[in-house]
Amino acid sequence: MQAVSPAFSCDLKPLIQRNLTAKNARYCQVNGKRASVRCGYRSESFSFPNGVGSSRADWQSSCAILASKVASAENSSSVTGGLADQVAAVNGHSNGSVNLSLVPSETTKNGKPGLVQPLTNTDLSPAPSHGSTLRVAYQGVPGAYSEAAAGKAYPNSEAIPCDQFDVAFQAVELWIADRAVLPVENSLGGSIHRNYDLLLRHRLHIVGEVQIPVHHCLLALPGVRADCITRVISHPQALAQTEGSLNKLTPRAAIEAFHDTAAAAEYIAANNLHDTAAVASARAAELYGLQILADGIQDDAGNVTRFLMLARDPIIPRTDRPFKTSIVFAAQEHQGTSVLFKVLSAFAFRNISLTKIESRPHHNCPVRVVEDGSVGTKKHFEYTFYVDFEASMAEARAQNALAEVQEYTSFLRVLGSYPMDMTPSSALPSEDV
């Protein structure tokens, strides 16, 4: 029987096997203009074209949010080589220096600087040293519910928007961000399977959880009436959660899916769409200059999303407050789902409450073939199981339970042992988050 490693000793395979002096290109604010940063992937010092100093203090005072796009068409020749070098850097290779010419932020019609754009895969290269402000990655654009979750989990932090869940994971692994806050389940829509798969693919640790109530609003350009709306756009889950209200407010409007709630609001503002409304948060209306046609349009008032807080290193489990532990395991070969009963018994015998069980297809072995001479060949799906239980890995009963679970599984990994979000339902804000 193999020993079960506690959460704080989980093996974290180094993802960056290059010189620790590798730095990342970031936007720099210089005399009101965006300056491009040339990054060396050996030991050379930083070079700032517009006169920014190369010291750590200068970097901290000058650098803003990371860039979301690389050079525009006018610099296409230099970008081609830069992108190739970025890909090599992400894959762990060093190929000289990388010159990232960054696109300046857009300016709105009223002359105000545009909002930062989400990180994309092209931005994922090793990050520079930074100050004491915690940087938290989230999926979406400013005004998204994930941004509110990041703010609740880490107040006074620097929020870094990412265009995909996978980019948020990589941003933490590559030291572009210190934490990531990502959704895993909604009280109405259920589990977010993509993030469960990414938890297994990446080596980040769960260090906390936070629950955010979802408060939807119907947004449109100023002066637009609800009866003039012919199209409503938003994330598919937001549209499903407001279906009843939308049928009453905009009965003749076509419903169209969009990749993000706040991005839908941004799209309407950017394109000046007077016939289109978005389902998003009140903060999105404030950020993108939209009016709220209807407030609190979710069909179920108890609409809550649970987010996980992820970090490169685990926290040390404690017993002085309620803790939750998340694990993932796969059954031994030819044992099938009967192993699940034995695993549940290991927790029930020790009076450990389970708060979630999630199954996902086993990526390495999705189908198990069983030969039976009497009835022919049978095929069964193989699964990976995610389990959350209310106990700390510092408790002997949790350690003993996992030691028994190890006997029935071919693979067992502790994703994290972390404090539970004990915020009572009555204390959750009733207004938009």
| pLDDT tens per residue, range 70-92 | 333 334 434 344 433 433 333 33
Position 91: which residue type? N
Which residues make up the CATH 3.40.190.10 domain(s) of the chain? 132-213+299-313, 216-297
pLDDT at 338: 76
220 and 186 in contact (C-beta within 8 Å)?
A: no
Position 329: which residue type? F
pLDDT in tens, 297-343: 998 888 899 999 999 999 999 999 999 999 999 887 666 667 888 99
Q: Mean pLDDT check: name the lowest of 39-48, 231-240, 381-390.
A: 39-48
The rounded mean pLDDT for the chain is 74
**Distance (Å, whole) CA 180 – CA 154:** 10
Global pTM exceeds 0.85: no
Q: Looking at the predicted structure, is the pLDDT value of residue 261 above 80? A: yes
Higher pLDDT, 129 or 68: 129
pLDDT category at 166 given cuts 50, 70, 90 is very high
Q: Looking at the predicted structure, is the pLDDT value of residue 106 above 60? A: no
Rounding to the nearest 10 degrees, give the CA dihedral for residues 90, 94, 98, 102.
Answer: 10
In the Cβ-directed half-sphere of 47, how many Cα atoms lie within 13 Å? 12
pLDDT category at 62 given cuts 50, 70, 90 is very low
User: What Cα–Cα distance (Å) separates residue 311 from each residue in 91, 168, 338?
Assistant: 21, 11, 34
Nearest to 219 by CA among 203, 232, 210: 232
User: What Cα–Cα distance (Å) separates residue 333 from each residue in 50, 347, 357?
Assistant: 61, 22, 20
The correct CATH number of 132-213+299-313 out of 3.40.190.10, 3.40.50.720, 3.40.50.1400, 1.10.260.40 is: 3.40.190.10
pLDDT at 39: 35
Helix (H, G, I), strand (E, B) or coil at 387: strand
pLDDT at 14: 40
User: What Cα–Cα distance (Å) separates residue 201 from each residue in 105, 170, 175, 198, 418?
Assistant: 33, 11, 18, 5, 20
User: What Cα–Cα distance (Å) separates residue 55 from each residue in 43, 45, 51, 234, 413?
Assistant: 14, 9, 12, 44, 41
Helices and strands in the chain, H and E counts: 11, 21
211 and 305 in contact (C-beta within 8 Å)?
A: yes
Burial (CB < 10 A; 0-12, 13-18, 19+), residue 17, is: exposed
User: What Cα–Cα distance (Å) separates residue 314 from each residue in 11, 196, 206?
Assistant: 10, 18, 7
pLDDT in tens, 185-236: 998 888 999 999 999 999 999 999 999 999 999 999 999 999 999 999 999 9
Catalytic residues: 305, 307
User: What Cα–Cα distance (Å) separates residue 138 from each residue in 125, 183, 192, 347?
Assistant: 17, 9, 15, 33
Burial (CB < 10 A; 0-12, 13-18, 19+), residue 400, is: middle
Which residues make up the CATH 3.30.70.260 domain(s) of the chain? 315-423
CATH 3.30.70.260 for domain 315-423: yes
Q: Find the length of the chain.
A: 433
317 and 393 in contact (C-beta within 8 Å)?
A: yes
What's the CATH superfamily of 216-297? Periplasmic binding protein-like II (3.40.190.10)
pLDDT at 268: 97
99 and 40 in contact (C-beta within 8 Å)?
A: no
Q: Looking at the predicted structure, is the pLDDT value of residue 349 above 60? A: yes
Q: Looking at the predicted structure, is the pLDDT value of residue 169 above 50? A: yes
Position 171: which residue type? A
pLDDT at 302: 85
pLDDT at 287: 95
